[in-house]
Amino acid sequence: MEKVKERCKLKHGLIVLSDGSKGGLAMLWKEGITVDMKTYSQDHIDAWVEGGWDGDTRVQELINGATAEWRSEIIDTLFLPHEADIIKSIPISFRLPPDKLIWSETRNGLFTVRSAHKLAVTRAVSPNKGTSSDDSDTRCFWRRIWSITVPHKVRHFVWRACCNALPTKNNLRHRKIIQEELCDECKGAPETVGHVLWGCPKAKEAWECSKLVFSGTVDANASFKDVMWKLMMVTDVGEDHVAQAATTAWALWHNRNEVRHGGVRKSGQQVFRWASDYLREYRAAVVHDIPAATMPPQGAAEGKAFEVGLPFAKEVGVRDVILEGDSMIVYNPVCNHSLAPSSIVAVVQGIQDISGDFWNVECSHIKRQGNLPAHLLAKYASSITDYVAWIEEDPAISCKLLSMM
């Protein structure tokens, strides 16, 4: 149980030992949660819990109102790693507008019947069939998936595979895209995610080369989530072996796609060797002290530049302004040509609100090639820690960089 507490990053807990094969419970909680234990036995735990995330908590409680920045320490505690990265990549308007509900299945955040129907169909044909013991175990499992020390694309692949969200022939047939679902490799079973990555003879050969030892047996028809659950939550083979398993599964799928597009078909042993070399090169190149950054939403950087730049222009006495950029994602909604994506709608609204304080504000869109000076200046600005402003003069660094081109 101590290993489980460490993996789930839950420091506190109550463990009720079992009596042979009967009973046995555990309740774990994180820092900042107050637990008033009432009664407990091998069959129940009765406790009063205070603190943490509840149904009345609002987004504004995740934001530092003084600096208009995300409160990273709280977000990292409440959400899974990939969820936290996505949240912290969302730009925050300095106006701090009130919270509002958005529909995540459309680009502009507005609900449509079509998007709801599409979501319902997707969930109906791609159910999550993995096994789990309870919600806390499941959440711990997903945390471990997103903490595997492999490239992000491999982690993302493993997550999709565990959710049965890969375009296998079986899934494509369910969507009425193709009629035949037989595995191209062995011709002996439907091409499901579990079959491609576990049950197929080629996959079995690759796994045998890995010399991974499972606790008990894993059925040949098991889902890939069942396989990873057994590997991480039951057997606990260690982080290095989990990384090897994730990379091997990704390599099997990668070669499957290569063959489908005219590439060379590798044996299971060749796939395993290639995956091992790939993982070894990644570990040699990665800098463990620098966390991987999540890219902000499209248009976020340019939108924030406009929103922060306008108050500065007002402060120095400028009253006629031209906002020039290469992002149509920002340009169109600022000019009211289209609705803003939900990820930057607050920033766009901030630009429009403060524009009313000027005599005239024009928007100009140029191609990316013509906006090179701004991109060079932005790269230079990322290395500046102090506040720097140029008024009625060109930045020396911009002139220098352009002269070198």
Q: What percent of the chain has pLDDT over 90?
A: 15
- Cβ–Cβ < 8 Å for 25, 44: yes
Contact by Cβ (8 Å): 215, 206: no
pLDDT at 304: 87
Q: What integer best gives the mean pLDDT of the chain?
A: 80
Compute how many other C-beta atoms are within 10 angstroms of the C-beta atom of residue 318: 14
Q: Rounded to an integer, what is the distance from CA 389 to the centroid of its chain? A: 35
How far, rounded to the nearest angstrom, does the alpha carbon of residue 339 sit from its chain's CA centroid?
Answer: 25
Residue that the structure tokens 């995300």 belong to: 70
**Residue 249: pLDDT over 90:** yes
pLDDT of 290 higher than 60:
no
CB 29 within 8 A of CB 8: no
In angstroms, rounded to a whole number, what is the distance separating the alpha carbons of residues 373 and 403?
A: 11
The Cα angle at residue 82 between residues 157 and 93, in degrees rounded to 5: 135
In this prediction, residue 133 carries a pLDDT of 43
pLDDT 10s digits, 14-49: 887 776 655 577 787 776 677 777 777 767 777 776
**Tens-place pLDDT, residues 134-159:** 567 788 888 889 889 898 889 999 99
pLDDT computed for residue 85 by the predictor: 82
β-bridge mates for residue 323, sequence order:
363
**What per-residue confidence (pLDDT) applies to 271?**
92
Residue 320: pLDDT band by 50, 70, 90 thresholds?
very high
Give residue 242's Cα distance to chain centre: 19
Quick: pLDDT tens for 157-194. Answer: 999 999 988 999 998 888 888 888 999 888 889 999 99
Residue 288 has pLDDT above 70, yes or no: no
Query: How far lies 399's CA from each of 181, 183, 393, 395, in Å?
Result: 60, 59, 11, 7
pLDDT at 251 over 90: yes
Domain ranges of the chain: 2-50, 131-285, 300-403
Greatest mean pLDDT range, 25-39, 217-231, 282-296: 217-231
Q: Which two tokens stand for residue 5?
A: 């507490």
pLDDT at 336 over 50: yes
Q: How confident is the model at residue 131 (pLDDT cuts 50, 70, 90)?
A: very low
Q: What is the CATH number of domain 300-403?
A: 3.30.420.10
Nearest to 337 by CA among 347, 348, 346, 353: 348
- Report residue 301 as tokens: 């950087």
Position 6 pLDDT exceeds 70:
no
Confidence of residue 56 (pLDDT cuts 50, 70, 90): low
Cα 81 to chain centroid distance, Å, stands at 7
- What is the rounded CA–CA span in Å between residue 287 and residue 191? 38
CA distance 148 to 274: 19
- Look-up: residue for tokens 């730049």? 309
Q: Rounded to an integer, what distance in angstroms lies between the CA atom of residue 120 and that of residue 299?
A: 30
User: Reduced to 3 DSSP states, what percent helix, strand and coil does the chain have, rounded to the nearest 5?
Assistant: 50, 10, 40
Residue 170's SS3 state is helix
> What digits encode the pLDDT tens for the residues 98-118?
777 888 888 888 888 888 888
What DSSP element (H or E) covers 110?
none
Calculate mean pLDDT across residues 64-73: 86
Residue 158 CA: distances (Å) to CA of 52, 148, 377: 29, 10, 38
Q: For residues 142-151, b (16+ Cβ closer than 10 Å) or e, as one string?
A: bbbbbebbbb
Residues 281 and 277: their CA atoms lie apart, in Å, by 6
The CB density around residue 152, as the number of other CB atoms within 10 Å, is 12
